[in-house]
Structure formats: structure tokens, C-alpha cells
Structure 1
Amino acid sequence: MYFPKRPTFNPSGLLVGLCFLSLVSISTFWHLQRNDSYSWWWTISVKNTSDPPEHEHMTPSVSSIRNKDGGMWTVNSLGRLGNQMGEYATLYGLAKLNGHQAYILPAMHQKLAPIFKLTLPMIPSELVDKIPWRKYHLHDWMSEEYRHIEGKYVQLTGTPCSYTFYDHLRHEIRQEFAFHDYIKEDANRYLLQVRGQRKTVTYIGVHVRRGDYITVMPNTWKGVVADKSYLDKAMNYFREKYHDAVFVVASNGMAWCKENMDASRGDVYFAGDGQESSPERDFALIAHCNHTIMTIGTFGIWASYLAGGETVYLANYTLPDSPFLKLFKPSAAFLPEWIGIPADLSPLLPKS
């Protein structure tokens, strides 16, 4: 009987084969990474932005994102709380309008996720610089061309803060900025203390923006900040309308507020330390009130937007030739139903 000869094992041949397969794999991977069209399929794990903050002693869940050339839109992460909220809401509105999935950068996640129950996923930091972003700059109000922005990998830039980008989605935006439970509980606890033995209370949140604006507004923008007269008028409006009104004041200039706001009736409560060391707490307090008095700045705009109710704001606080009006359109920043009280511009006028 014939038995075929058993093949002889050749180690060198196996080694050559393995090397060849390795080279093919490396070449393919490099090609996919460098492919400018990004028509490759990838799977990454990202932290769910709706997870509670770490100090709530809960382990964050992880969600998986799978993208097959579906693209992604994001927005730059600039400024403090109010600016970041404006950028997030604008991204949410424009991405949906243009039919793309929105993602936020790690810096924005770090700023907003500890405060709000966001739903937009975060781009992992190791992926951000590998994406061929098309930068698209926005001014502060909605324009027709923003309905037709081209590109699968778009990064919106600028610091937009205008309801014209997202107010048609008002309910969804307010849901995006729903506070974590521990923040709501803290705000409600404080407001309950303010109520005391009163049978009924109408809470009026007051945000007084001072700080660097005291010098920046007159010296750079030909404008003013809120003065005593404005706050008296705004508070008297609510006092006359609501017999049970109480005012909860948050400010980065609390010493000035205590000297210039009429607290003689026992209906004014100065919250926080006046240094903005806990801006999220100050913000939550104002946003949990029934109505709002704001001065200037995106912090007050967003607190008013989330609170709902009536809002009184400082109107016409710059001279007509202010360069600020080239960047900021008041009619696109303050909702039509809000009540404007004109500022006193006399400090900006030449002395006669």
C-alpha cells in the first residue's frame, strides 16, 4: 500500500507568511486612518452625557456609538456657563435642522454635564484631532444660510446666544438643561427657607452682572451696567403686581447690591458669596424662581429662559454707535414677550 510522504515542517516559510500578513494589516489600517473621505466604519465607547456627576456616587454608564460615514457636528467650547449653554443649544438646533447628529467636545461636557442632564454624546478626546473638521463661523443670530450648511464633519465656531437658533425647540432645549436632582434639591431647600412662615410666595430671581463689565462696558462698548434706578423700577414692577413677591439676588458684585437695593421691606434675600465661586448654585436659584429680573449677560438670559414666567431686562444699554451692536442684536437675544426698561445712558454723554 502506498502512503503519501508527510510534508516537512518549514519554520522559515511560516515566518515569511506571518510577516506578509502583518504588512498587509498595517497597510490597510494606515490607509483607513488617512482616508480623507472618512468612509470607514468605526466603533467607539463614550461616556453618556446624561450620567450623574461623579460626586453623586454612581458609576457612569457607557454607551456605544457606531458611525458608518454618517458624519458628526460639534461646536467650539468657549466662555463661561452662559456662553457654553448658548453654544450647546445652537449646535442642537442647527444640527437637527441640517439633518446631522450633534456631539459635544470634552471641554463642554466637563463644564455642563455636572449641572444638566444632557443627551448629546461626547466625542472622546483622543478622536477630536483626528477628524477633518470644517470650521463654520456663526454670528449671534440666525441667518437663512444656516439652514443649508454643507459638510459631514462640521465644527461651528463663535459664541452665539440667540433664541432664534433654537426657540422653535423650546421644550427640548429646556429638557436638555434639566438640572441634576442634587442641584434641584439644593435650590428648592434654599427657596423653602426664604418662604419661611409665608402662606404664599412669588419668587423673583434677580441677577446683577457687574465684575469686569463695570469697566469693559463704558470703555470698550460705549455702554453701561444696571444702576440703582433700573433695579428700583424692576423690583417695583413686581411688587405692584404680586403682593407676595420676594427677591432672590445673585451677583458677582454683592457688596454693591446690598448698598443699592432696597431691602427695607424684608423681601430681599442676597444669595451666594458674591464672588461666583458656585455659579451653578446661583444659576439654579434664579432659574427655579417664578419670574426674573436680569441686567446684562448670557448668564441672566439663560436663567430667564429656563425660569419661564415674566422677565424684566435692561434695554438699550449702549449708545447707538456702539461697536457692540455689530456683534450683538438685542431683538434676537431678548424674547419678544420680555419687558425692557431702558438704561440711563447719561454717564456716557459729554458733560455740558
Structure 2
Amino acid sequence: MDFSSGKYNTILLRSVIMIIIILISFYIMKIKLVTSINVIISKNQNIAKSQNISLGQNISSEQKMACIVYIQDKLGRFGNRMFLIASAYGLARLHSCHLYVELEIINELKSVFILDLSPVLISSSTFNSLTRSSSKSMNRISQSVVCDYITTLTRPNAIPSGTIFELIGYWQSYLHFAKYDEELRQRIFVASQSILGKVSNFFIEFYQRQLDYRPQFLLENHQSFKKQLSQLNSTTWIGIHVRRSDFIPIHYSSDDAYLFDAIKYYTERYSNAHFIVASDDKSYCKKLFRNRSNIFLTPQTFSVGDDLVILSLCQHSIITGGTFGWWTGYLAGGEVIHDKIYPSGCSRREYYYPPWFLIDGNVRAHKNTEYIL
């Protein structure tokens, strides 16, 4: 036997085994290192999530001078606030600005809507950080608008970096937010679950009373509920908003002939037309429509928000003057008949009335004037 050859083979075998052990150890250490890094990243992501921020989106010193569209004014009523929010959102999106709205206004609208302004909305703490921690103070600009469309705001850098642009007044031109219509309808002015549940009972009771049929609605969201209503072929719902109390003294209130002409239009157009009436003068409407079996008033228990949501769920609309009625027609979609007696307050008719608002004849531009659009 050749013992020297056997000894060499033994040494070679031991060397190979040693190399394999070293490689295995290195591989195990690599796995542990990667796992440790992943754990650290995971922990950081969880921390970021718990603080409602995302990694890579912390405010840098450059971002601290970004533009901010700002609302603190609270003129008018609910419909006016909706115009302010919509216009401010449209401008913030257009110019890649932050949006900051005083909490009182946010809470008022959140009592009705989901109001998901997440792409641009910042909190009070972030607003303070942006405005107070900057190396140089931000330039503050305010603009007061009733309803005209400010075309200069569509230009690039109309709201430059380092500017706080405050909206004052009413901002009642839909053209400031027309580019973001779908976002307003699908994420922002979308009814909350609680209000959807409340108004769904109105429809359930109607179908049970009129047709001895109790529909089962899935209240996932505003749009899906609206779709379910439209698929019930037994009815075409038309919303009617009648504003009277504060309009009668200033001669803005619509007369009975306008309402009945508009009802006639839809009745002839849709054989199964049914009407839902919301008004600040229910006793007047109850008397006016007492002989109409296909016209129903919203319950006394309904709030302003409930009235707005139920009208927005209709397929078509009849509205009198005011921003509340305007928004019921805008959110409902379909055809919208608007009384021309209400002055738009704009210098041009198309600033206030979208093309699908059906108006017979000219409208007054301003109150106490014969100037028409």
C-alpha cells in the first residue's frame, strides 16, 4: 500500500471540508445581516406609519418654502363653504401647493362628507412648521372673490413658492375646480356612512309602502348607493330644492309657475318620475304639492346635510337660487333646471352655470340691477 498517497488524500479531503464549512458560515452570517437590516427598516416603517408620515416624505428645508392655499374665512352658509373648499382644493392641486383649512370649517363639512383632502391637506402642526420654521418668512397674499373666474390663477407660478395664498369671500365659480370634478364627487363631497344609512331608510320605506317591496341596499359608499337606486327601474328620482325664507324679502324666491313647469318637463320626459323636495319652508311646500302623489317631502327630522345628500342621490334636479341648491344639482349630475330669477353675481354667465344647467333665457348679473347675462 502507498501510505503517502493516502495521507495526501486525507489532507485534501480535510481542506475541502474546511472550505465548505467556511462558505456555509459566511452564507449564514449574510442571511443574519440581511434579516437584521430588514427588521430595522420594518421598525422604521412602523414608526413612520404610527406617526402618520411616510419614509422619504419628511419636510425638507426646501419644502418649507412651498406654497400654501389657505382658508380661514367663514362667510355665508354651508353651500358657500363647499365652494371655498372646492376652489381652494382646485388651486392647490393645480399649483402643487399645500392646503390648509381652519379646523372649524373642516369639522362642519366632515359632519356630512368624508372630505378626503389627503393629497394636499396639511395639519395645524405642519402649517405652523412651514410658516414659522422657515429661514425667511413666507409672503402672504389674499384675494377676495364673489363668483368671477380669475383666469390669471391658471398661469404657471401664479402662486409661487414661498407664498401663502388666502381665499376670502365666496369663490363661486366652478371653473376654479372643474379640472378635479371626479375627485370632488368620488372622494371629497361624498356622504358619510351615517348619513347614507339615514337617507336610505327614506327610500326603503317608499318602496315598501308604494310597491310592497323592501330593497336591500349595500351602503358601501355614496356612488354605489346612487347606482343601486338608478337600477331600480320603477322610479326616476328628481330632486327639488326650494329656498324661500331669506329670499322672499329680496325677491330671489322662485314662483310656483317655475316649479310646476319644471316638474311638467320631467314628468313628460320620464313616465316613472318621482320627486323629492327639500326646503327651508316645508309647510309651504306641503301645501303647494298636496295633490301630487309622486312628490314627497324630506322628513322634519332631516338636517341640512341629510337634505343635501338625499337630493344628490337623485338622477336629475330642479333648483331655486343659492349655493346649496347649486351643489345638489352638481353632485346629482344628470340634467339640472335652474331658475333664472337668481342673480349669479358674475361678470359672465358661464362662470357660475355649467353647460348642463338648463336655464330658459338670460339671468341677472347682480341684485338691484337690470344688467343681464
TM over 0.5: yes
Cα distance, 1:342–1:248 mapped onto 2, change above 3 Å: farther
Cα distance, 1:298–1:307 mapped onto 2, change above 3 Å: same
Q: Are positions 1:230 and 2:258 aligned together?
A: yes
Bigger Cα displacement from structure 2, 89-98 vs 191-200: 191-200
Q: After TM superposition, give the deviation of residue 251 of structure 1 in Å.
A: 0.3
Counterpart of 1:111 (choices 104, 108, 119) is 108
2: distance between equivalents of 1:126 and 1:98?
19
Which residue does the alignment assign to 1:149?
159
| Consecutive unaligned residues in structure 2, runs of 5 or more | 1-49, 133-137, 212-232
Q: After TM superposition, give the deviation of residue 77 of structure 1 in Å.
A: 3.2
Q: Are positions 1:266 and 2:287 aligned together?
A: no
Conserved? CA contact 2:68–2:98, under 8 Å:
yes
Q: After TM superposition, give the deviation of residue 62 of structure 1 in Å.
A: 6.8
Counterpart of 2:325 (choices 283, 300, 305) is 300
Q: Are positions 1:333 and 2:329 aligned together?
A: no
Conserved? CA contact 1:292–1:310, under 8 Å:
yes
1: distance between equivalents of 2:279 and 2:325?
10
Give 1:45-64 correspondences, 5 Å limit: 63-64=52-53
Q: Are positions 1:67 and 2:59 aligned together?
A: yes
Conserved? CA contact 2:148–2:346, under 8 Å:
no
Q: Are positions 1:251 and 2:279 aligned together?
A: yes
Q: After TM superposition, give the deviation of residue 202 of structure 1 in Å.
A: 0.7
2: distance between equivalents of 1:301 and 1:326?
14
Measured against aligned partners, the alpha-carbon deviations of 1:47-98 in whole angstroms (never above 9, x if no partner) come to xxxxxxxxxxxxxx97359534134222233322111110000001111222
Q: Are positions 1:91 and 2:88 aligned together?
A: yes
Conserved? CA contact 2:235–2:272, under 8 Å:
yes
Q: Secondary structure at the match of 2:99?
A: coil
Identity rate of aligned residues, in percent? 27
Measured against aligned partners, the alpha-carbon deviations of 1:250-304 in whole angstroms (never above 9, x if no partner) come to 000112212223x424111111329xx7100111111111111100100011111
Which residue does the alignment assign to 1:169?
180
1: distance between equivalents of 2:362 and 2:144?
31
Q: After TM superposition, give the deviation of residue 174 of structure 1 in Å.
A: 0.8
Amino acid at match of 2:334: G
Conserved? CA contact 2:146–2:172, under 8 Å:
no
Cα distance, 1:328–1:234 mapped onto 2, change above 3 Å: farther
Q: After TM superposition, give the deviation of residue 329 of structure 1 in Å.
A: 4.7
Q: Secondary structure at the match of 2:203?
A: helix
Q: Are positions 1:213 and 2:202 aligned together?
A: no
Conserved? CA contact 1:230–1:341, under 8 Å:
no
Measured against aligned partners, the alpha-carbon deviations of 1:172-203 in whole angstroms (never above 9, x if no partner) come to 11121111112122222212322344461111
Cα distance, 1:344–1:257 mapped onto 2, change above 3 Å: farther
Give 1:103-142 correspondences, 5 Å limit: 103-120=100-117, 121=121, 123-124=123-124, 133-142=140-149
Counterpart of 2:334 (choices 309, 313, 321) is 309
Conserved? CA contact 1:291–1:311, under 8 Å:
yes
Cα distance, 1:326–1:248 mapped onto 2, change above 3 Å: closer
Bigger Cα displacement from structure 2, 288-297 vs 142-151: 142-151
2: distance between equivalents of 1:279 and 1:247?
18
Amino acid at match of 2:152: E
Which residue does the alignment assign to 1:201?
235
Conserved? CA contact 1:250–1:270, under 8 Å:
yes
Instruction: Give the alignment's TM-score, normalised by structure 2.
Output: 0.65
Instruction: Give the alignment's TM-score, normalised by structure 1.
Output: 0.69
Q: After TM superposition, give the deviation of residue 229 of structure 1 in Å.
A: 0.3
2: distance between equivalents of 1:299 and 1:62?
37
Cα distance, 1:328–1:248 mapped onto 2, change above 3 Å: farther
Cα distance, 1:122–1:80 mapped onto 2, change above 3 Å: farther
Amino acid at match of 2:90: G
Amino acid at match of 1:124: S
1: distance between equivalents of 2:79 and 2:51?
28
Conserved? CA contact 1:206–1:292, under 8 Å:
yes
Conserved? CA contact 2:344–2:363, under 8 Å:
no
1: distance between equivalents of 2:169 and 2:125?
21
Between Structure 1 and Structure 2, whose CA radius of gyration is higher?
2
After the TM superposition, which segments of 4 or more aligned residues of structure 1 sit over 3 Å from their partners?
Answer: 61-68, 125-133, 195-199, 324-330, 341-345
Cα distance, 1:127–1:103 mapped onto 2, change above 3 Å: closer
Which residue does the alignment assign to 1:186?
198
